[in-house]
Amino acid sequence: MAYISKLNIVNFKSHSNFKENLKSNNNIVIIGPNGSGKTNLIESLNFFSNSKSIRGEKLTNLIKLGSVGRAKVGIEISSNNNKFLLEYNLSKNNEDITKKFFVDAKAVKNLKSINEIIKFIWLSPHMEKIMYEGKSIKRKFIDKLITQFDENFNFSLSEYKKNTTERLVLLKEKRDEKWLRILEKKISESIFEIFINRRIFSKKISVLSKKKLLNFRSFEIIFSNQYENYLDNKNDALKIIENILYKNRFIDEISKRNNFGINDDDIVIKDEKKKISSDYLSTGEQKAILLSIILSNCHLYKDNNQEFIMLFDEISSHIDKSNLKKFFKEIDKFETQTWYTGNDKNLFQVIENKAFFIEIT
């Protein structure tokens, strides 16, 4: 079980100086009115796992307005029965911002060292659009979940981005045939890796939803594309992808974009009970599926002995009382610290006895 025992926030958004000592309670509930800083508080924790703001803000916006231009977030955390002090500092120089991480007061290069100790899994109302907007946001969301779980996937994504950009430049400027071939080979490898890993991951969490979420909704995430049947054989798939890239050279050059790539993977998120795409579900049902995806993802972490802490911003939005109760039951199974925000304490009555409430005004 992982838990934060001390929290110290300085100049992060609306919080000038926020300190809290916590026991190993499984549930931490932050209650306060609109604008009191609930989301900011759990967002400050999320930055131990994510380099980007979930609300799409610039990092400079994270430092408290009117402060000296430095923010600091520190936590004492228990993970795998060891205690660690984790910290990050943000400092502003003109419009630039530098972010530094520390583990037990020693500077570490990047988030990787922290992610080995603990991962934060976060859900906010901003993410609800994943369920009703198009395919692209759904693909990105799943890619993000895979990346958080497996660093190698991030490598495939960045290789793909780097090499496709270079190929477009090469097509426009000078057609170095040999180099183009090499690039297209590399791109094909990345596309194949990405396609395969999306399918493996989606299958894993879909199965987990059916096996583990007995009180909650199960789902199936299906990736497919027109070359699906070839993906079983790596050599065939690579040949086909390389050939498409070769054939597309002219059209890619003219249109200045990749006409075939990782975004040609179709994605459908299906509700297992109704056997229909989540696009046809109600807002509350869509949120329930989103919660199921997060829960199944957490089961994957648990099965792999990876410690994690969950952060749920406005958990109750669009979720009725009965579903919320079922959700809390599912969370109980993880026996790890879970943070919630809300503006009504009554919503958390079911877990009242095993929760620590932080009230902010």
| Contact set with ligand ATP (CB under 6 A) | 13-14, 32, 34-40, 61, 63-65, 343
Least spacing, CB of residue 15 vs Mg ion, in Å: 13
Neighbours of 226 (CB within 10 A): 9
Give 37 or 261: the residue with its C-beta nearer to ligand ATP. Answer: 37
3-state secondary structure (DSSP) of residue 96: strand
**Which of Mg ion, ligand ATP, none does residue 34 bind to, with CB < 5 to 8 Å depending on kind?**
ligand ATP
**Residue 218 interacting with Mg ion (CB under 5 A):** no
Distance of alpha carbon 139 from alpha carbon 141, whole angstroms:
5
Give 145 or 358: the residue with its C-beta nearer to ligand ATP. Answer: 358
What value does the CA radius of gyration of the chain take, rounded to a whole number of Å? 22
**Which of Mg ion, ligand ATP, none does residue 14 bind to, with CB < 5 to 8 Å depending on kind?**
ligand ATP
Least spacing, CB of residue 125 vs ligand ATP, in Å: 8
Least spacing, CB of residue 43 vs Mg ion, in Å: 9
Give 292 or 341: the residue with its C-beta nearer to Mg ion. Answer: 341
3-state secondary structure (DSSP) of residue 303: helix
Least spacing, CB of residue 32 vs Mg ion, in Å: 9
Q: Are 149 and 201 in contact (CB under 8 A)?
A: yes
**Which of ligand ATP, Mg ion, none does residue 37 bind to, with CB < 5 to 8 Å depending on kind?**
ligand ATP
**Which of ligand ATP, Mg ion, none does residue 65 bind to, with CB < 5 to 8 Å depending on kind?**
ligand ATP
* Site size for Mg ion (CB under 5 A): 1
Which residue, chain included where needed, has tokens 């009555």? 349
Tokens matching residue 263: 């975004």
Q: In the set 4, 11, 12, 39, which binds Mg ion (CB under 5 A)?
A: 39
Residue span binding Mg ion (CB under 5 A) among the ranges 39-47, 88-96, 107-115, 245-253? 39-47
**Which of ligand ATP, Mg ion, none does residue 156 bind to, with CB < 5 to 8 Å depending on kind?**
none
**Which of ligand ATP, Mg ion, none does residue 13 bind to, with CB < 5 to 8 Å depending on kind?**
ligand ATP
Q: Are 317 and 287 in contact (CB under 8 A)?
A: yes
Q: Work out the angle at residue 200's Cα, subtended by the Cα atoms of residues 147 and 221, and round it to the nearest 5 degrees.
A: 90
Closest by CA position to 315, among listed 145, 123, 131: 123
Q: Find the binding residues for Mg ion in span 120-149 (CB under 5 A).
A: none
3-state secondary structure (DSSP) of residue 335: coil
Least spacing, CB of residue 17 vs ligand ATP, in Å: 13
Give 39 or 44: the residue with its C-beta nearer to Mg ion. Answer: 39
Least spacing, CB of residue 186 vs ligand ATP, in Å: 41
- Is 332 exposed, middle or buried, given 0-12, 13-18 or 19+ CB atoms closer than 10 A? middle
Q: Which amino acid is at 181?
A: R
DSSP string across 315-326: TTTT--HHHHHH
Least spacing, CB of residue 14 vs ligand ATP, in Å: 3
Q: Are strands 355-359 and 106-108 parallel, antiparallel or unpaired?
A: unpaired
Interior/surface letters 166-176, b for 16+ CB within 10 angstroms, e for the rest: ebbebbeeeee
Task: Please identify the residue of the shown chain whose CB is closest to the bound Mg ion.
Answer: 39
Least spacing, CB of residue 345 vs Mg ion, in Å: 16
Give 18 or 334: the residue with its C-beta nearer to ligand ATP. Answer: 18
Instruction: Give the dihedral sign, CA 110/115/117/121.
Output: positive
List residues near Mg ion by CB under 5 A. 39
